[in-house]
Structure 1
Amino acid sequence: MTVDVSKDEKKPTWCYEDVVEHLGGFGRYQQRVFFLMCLPVMSLGIQTLMTVFSMKTPQHRCAVPGVQNDSYDLKGIEHERLLNISIPWVSANDVDNKVMRSQCLLYRNRNQTVYEEGLLYSNRSTTSCSKWVFDHSTFTNTFTEEAAFVCDKREYHAFADMLFMVGKLIGSFLVGIFSDFFGRKTGFVFSMVLHIGCAVGGAFVQSFTVYVALRFIMGGANFGVFLSVYVLGLELVGRKSRTVAGQFLQISWCFGLLFLAGLAYGLRDWRHLQLAVSCPTVLFLGYYWFIEESPRWLISKGRYDEANAILRKVAHMNGQPAPPTLEPSDSDVSVKKESALRMFTNKTTLVRTLIIFINWIVCTMIYYGLSLNVGNIGGNVYLNFTLSTVAEFIGYVIAMAGLDRLGRKAMHCGSMIVGGLALIASMFPVMYGGDSVTWSVILLSNIGKMGASSAFSIIYLFSAELFPTVARNSLVGMSSMVARVGGVISPYIAQLNVIVGGHLGVALPLVVFGGLALFAGLLALWLPETLHRPLPETMEDARNFGKLRSDSVSKKISSSENGASHNEKIA
């Protein structure tokens, strides 16, 4: 508690954090609000990675011209004869001698006599086909199949995912301004309306232009929902519980992905799946009547009466005495803000800031890239997606268990380096083992995903504790914004599998992600540890942070409390 007793024995003044602790760190009210905030996060995860199923490209080949009922499955000897005179055989990969019917080419001369006379297929000219048939054993229908995004249009999948990430980038600008002006609760409802509209509307689109436009808006809306959820869900949680509560928000994301995997397995038509995961989100509009506005935001706008009423309600529900009434004079100790650009004027802080930016970019790129790549590494896409989500869950649990024991630096660097080495190692079974060792590729890929998820959750806290208080919010905001660059690039790296093809195409995205993870993890070794260290307050503190080991036991601050108190500002 901040106590300011004058000679006239004025009443003690309470800062906002003192009131939060007085209300009970994680009482009944906070538990209810936190649970309500976890549910929308599940929907955010579902809609973010929905394209793994809705835009998956099934196995396919050129359709036989003139055959109305052509299908991917072989129907008999006559069907096989038509295929042989119409579609050339091509190499299925670059390791063994397996062949497959071409997905993009037809013979120009499809005269039956030519085939029967035994002329070599290699001497016959080919042309591109304009119609395809698809394998329906895994998916009955996908958007990629409907729009025929194959052959020279196969990169459209990556373009749709890229626009989603661009939407998140632009949303980080606009939604923050909207929420600062109209309030966190209003920002949540507005973003959720957009989220619901794009999700439900996406099930009925007929054109690619409309589809990607909705994905773009969805990206911005998702950022707005997550920002509001983070603030409203964690603002009234006590310091000691915030780090764990923040991790549980990310774990609820995993629960959403597991739900998506199970539902996608049962609903193989992408439109049915899109509707099934989108319609229930309409219920989130009811939050308007169940959640309160952010007291901190109300105080920032001078609306103390409304803020005090909410705080009294929290105290009553938690069985705590009513907190003291906050007044304009009872504000937190003000800290003189400085320009974040001053971090770039000193060699030490410049290098550290650039390393942090690189790690944000790489963490974001690898997390989303590996998530989007689960259908390209062989095996069953539903099982791969589930295993990837379980690996992500384990990564979050490992991060929670090790942060306050091993430290931020050791956990982050270890996660990045181990994950990177596993992804690089996946190259060997892919290139030299063939299809018989697909399980090892999936295992190594999931170790990489586990490391990326763990590092992704740690970098939020680690960077917040390295930046000085006078510019912390601005610098964390810049880091989050820079990270979107990684998100924008990740779909194209994941799509290398489709573009390059063969076993090299399977290995290439994993090796690229692994190399970047290893590079960023090794760079992060130059960052100082923040566990049990007083956080830097000024630019001078930031420059000297980590240089002197004597920041002394007398000034020691529990990083788990200080770092957690900034977690709410990061989203």
Structure 2
Amino acid sequence: MTFVELLARLGGMGRFQVTYVAALAIPLLMLASHNLLQNFTAGVPEHHCRPRPVANDSAGDVPLLISIPSDGHHRPQRCRRYVEPQWHLLEVNSTVNDTANGAATEPCHDGWTYHDGVFAHTIVTEWDLVCESKTLRQVAQSIYMAGILLGSGLFGILSDKFGRRALLTWCYLQLGVTGAGTAAAPTFIVYCLCRFLAGLAMAGVSLNSASLCMEWIPTEARAVVGTINGYCYTLGQFVLAAVAFGLPHWRWLQLAVSLPFFLFFLYSWLFVESARWQVISGRPDLALKGLRKVARINGRKEEGDKLSEEALRTSMCQEPPLPGGALAALVRTPGMRTVSCGVSFVWFSTSFAYYGLAMDLQGFGVDIYLSQLVFGAVDIPAKLASVLAISCVGRRVAQGGSLALAGICILANIIVPMELQMLRMAFAVIGKGSLAASFNCAYIFSGELFPTVISHRAGHLKDEEVTVPLSTTKTKDGV
């Protein structure tokens, strides 16, 4: 009897599994909040140089026209100011053409003035991440993503050594602490450090949530559970828009999306460790205790009482072995190397384009809260469409078609003029929906191309959301 058959005897998708999936899915709502948080905490408000002080201006009512040059749209330039006030511009017949008058300009030596509006309190206004320092805004997000990249490898290895539940509990705590630390960061360097540590923890939450789900859920229920988890990430995008609208100050917003992880940390102590991992780690007594608890919750106490440590060892012996480890199996044969490289490229291209769109909401010139809602809402029909496409035309056509449509929409936005904001937004929304469909196809495709025993390792290639892979089956494309 295999371990999957053992779970079926103990209730299959019973009360324990339903409760477990719900408890693991709720934190997934906050994944989007952290991944896309800088759309709001690092928003760039309208700004211009702080005018040079004028000796005879005690009231501070000198017109901006004489201190700040205008850009091509007759708005104050963001990063330059006049070296000397241009009083002649106040004359009735004067011109505001900066290049014509030839007045000398200089950088903003005295700082910037930020306009009140949607982004009145962000890390940009806090640490003046504009003009020469504007790239630091992207650096902060890149550091967070680097944390996710490092955490994906680090916590994957540690979870095999210390267990899924222990690492998940730790990552909940780390994310809560570093998120709160980010909200209280006194300097930009401390902010980036806390975001990096939060990225590490986010990867740990993603990986270990998926592992615990997969190792307790029957094979036939994994597709449904994966869909539920995927839509939790989508719903989290609506949560982010609502919380950001209610808390426009970046510190309070950062704190609001971090504090729930302390609650997740507290109830994670009630999680049952993966029995499969415990048996493999030489702890069949603990695995037996956990399985009997599961049987009791599922109303199969008698079946649980019949279990023995010897039966558990026998069930694990029937699992297909992987000499050299699961990761080595991904590149052991030419066929597996081809599959691994191809799947990795799909994950990379989809993730790269997805975040390129999702992290540039302000660039479309539409209300950012509305943009966040629309970008989240498009994932719902997109994922449903991907399921239908997979059923009708197969995995390869659905995967390739979604990526091709996303590429067309992104390339189209390159040639669409900036003035056509709604058209640009429409292309971006269709492109993001196509990428969400690509994620859905890729996860199903990955789960079927790799053997079941290593499919969860291959599935950890993505960062967009957490779902549970399918078992190995024969696809419509004959793979």
TM-score bin, normalised by smaller chain: 0.7 to 0.9
Q: Distance in 2 between matches of 1:252 and 1:135?
A: 36
Match of 2:449 in 1: 466
- Offset of residue 231 of structure 1: 1.8
Corresponding residue number in structure 2 for 1:362: 349
The alpha-carbon deviation at position 135 of structure 1 amounts to 2.1
- In the TM superposition, 1:69-80 aligns within 5 A as 79=61
Residue 244 of structure 1 contacts residue 400 of structure 1 at CA under 8 Å; is this kept in 2?
Answer: no
Assess, with a 3 A threshold, how the Cα gap between structure 1 residues 196 and 421 changes in structure 2: closer, same or farther: same
Choose from 348, 351, 375 the match for 2:362: 375
Match of 1:194 in 2: 174
Fraction of identical pairs, as percent:
27
- Structure 2 gaps of 5+ residues are 466-470
Report the Cα distance in structure 1 between the residues aligned to 2:50 and 2:129, rounded to whole angstroms: 15
Distance (Å, rounded) in 2 between the aligned partners of 1:230 and 1:472? 11
| Alignment of 1:207 onto 2:187 | yes
Separation in structure 2 between the aligned mates of residue 199 and residue 415 of structure 1, nearest angstrom? 34
2:312 to 312, 327, 334: 327
Distance 1:470 1:379, change over 3 A: closer
User: Which residue pairs with 1:121 in the alignment?
Assistant: 98
1:413 deviation in Å?
1.4
Q: What is the rounded CA distance, in whole Å, between the counterparts of 1:186 and 1:402 in structure 2?
A: 39
Do 1:370 and 1:449's aligned partners in 2 also have CA atoms closer than 8 Å?
Answer: yes
Q: Are the structure 2 counterparts of residues 44 and 329 from structure 1 closer, same or farther at C-alpha, using a change threshold of 3 Å?
A: same
Instruction: Give the residue type in structure 2 aligned to 1:102.
Output: Q
1:412 aligned counterpart, secondary structure: helix
Cα distance in 1 for partners of 2:211, 2:472 equals: 24
Aligned partner of 2:50 in structure 1 is 63
Alignment partner of 1:235 out of 215, 218, 243: 215
Could you tell me the TM-score, scaled by structure 1's length?
0.74
Partner of 1:456: 439
Does the Cα contact within 8 Å between 2:12 and 2:218 map onto a contact in 1? Answer: yes
Partner of 1:86: 67
The one-letter amino acid of 1:24's match is G
Residue 95 of structure 1: aligned partner: none
For 1:337, which of 313, 320, 323 is the aligned residue? 323
Alignment match, 2:276: 296
Q: Distance in 2 between matches of 1:149 and 1:534?
A: 50
User: Which letter maps to 1:299?
Assistant: V
Secondary structure at the residue paired with 1:533?
coil
TM-score (ref. length: structure 2): 0.87
Q: After alignment, is 32-41 or 338-347 more displaced?
A: 338-347
Change (3 A) 1:403 1:444: same
The root-mean-square deviation of aligned C-alpha atoms, in Å, is 3.0
Alpha-carbon distance, 1:174 to partner: 1.7
* Deviations 1:74-123, CA, capped at 9 Å, x for gaps: x9xx95x62111111112xxxxxx33210000111214247648476321
- Aligned pairs for 1:177-188 within 5 A: 177-188=157-168
- What count of residue pairs does the alignment treat as equivalent? 460
SS at match of 1:221: helix
Note if 1:24 corresponds to 2:11: yes
Checking the alignment, whether the CA contact within 8 Å between 2:169 and 2:269 is kept in structure 1 is no
Report the residue type matching 1:257 in the other structure: Q
Are residues 471 and 311 of structure 1, via their aligned partners in 2, closer, same or farther at CA, if it must alter by over 3 Å?
closer
Letter in 1 for 2:259: C
Specify the alignment match of 1:158 in structure 2: 138
Code of the residue aligned with 2:278 in structure 1: it is L
Inter-partner Cα distance in structure 2 for 1:289 and 1:345: 38
What is the aligned partner in structure 2 of residue 52 from structure 1? 39
Bigger Cα displacement from structure 2, 418-427 vs 363-372: 418-427
Structure 1 unmatched ranges of 5 or more: 1-13, 92-97, 488-529, 536-545, 552-571
Compared CA separation, residues 236 and 400, structure 1 to 2 (3 A): farther
SS at match of 2:216: coil
Give deviations 1:246-300, integer Å, cap 9, x for gaps.
1211211122221110111121111121222222321112224321111111111
Q: 1:59 to 1:191 in 2, by over 3 A?
A: same
Q: 1:109 aligns with which of 45, 66, 84?
A: 84
Query: Residue 273 in 1 paired to residue 273 in 2?
Result: no
Write the letter of the residue equivalent to 2:216: L
Distance 1:531 1:373 in 2: 37
Shift of 1:48: 1.6
> Which residue is 1:388 aligned to?
375
Q: Spell out the pairing of 1:297-316 with structure 2 (5 A cutoff).
A: 297-316=277-296
Q: Secondary structure at the match of 1:241?
A: helix
SS in 2 for 1:61: strand
With over 3 angstroms needed to count, the CA separation of the structure-2 counterparts of 1:293 and 1:468, relative to structure 1, is: closer
1:67, distance to aligned residue in structure 2 (A): 7.5
Instruction: Please identify, of 155-164 and 408-417, the stretch whose mean Cα deviation from structure 2 is larger.
Output: 408-417
Task: String of CA shifts for 1:3-23, please: whole Å, max 9, x gaps.
Answer: xxxxxxxxxxx2111112223
SS in 2 for 1:133: strand
For residue 556 of structure 1, what is the aligned residue in structure 2?
none
What's 1:491 paired with?
none
Structure 2 counterpart of 1:506: none
1:29–1:317 Cα contact (<8 Å) kept: yes
For 1:18 and 1:365, the matched residues in 2 are separated by 39
Conserved in 2, the CA contact under 8 Å of 1:189 and 1:285? Answer: yes
1:398–1:454 contact (8 Å) kept in structure 2: yes
Q: Structure 1: which amino acid aligns with 2:146?
A: V
| Deviations, residues 57-86 of structure 1 (Å, cap 9, x unaligned) | 111111222289x9xxxx9xx95x621111
Compare 337-346 and 378-387 and name the one that shifted more: 337-346
Q: Aligned in 2, Cα 1:267/1:172: closer, same or farther, shift over 3 Å?
A: same
Q: Which moved more, 1:447-456 or 1:111-120?
A: 111-120
Q: CA, structure 1 residues 280+375, in 2 after alignment: closer, same or farther (shift >3 Å)?
A: same
Shift of 1:470: 8.2
Q: Is the 8 A contact 1:45 1:257 kept in 2?
A: yes
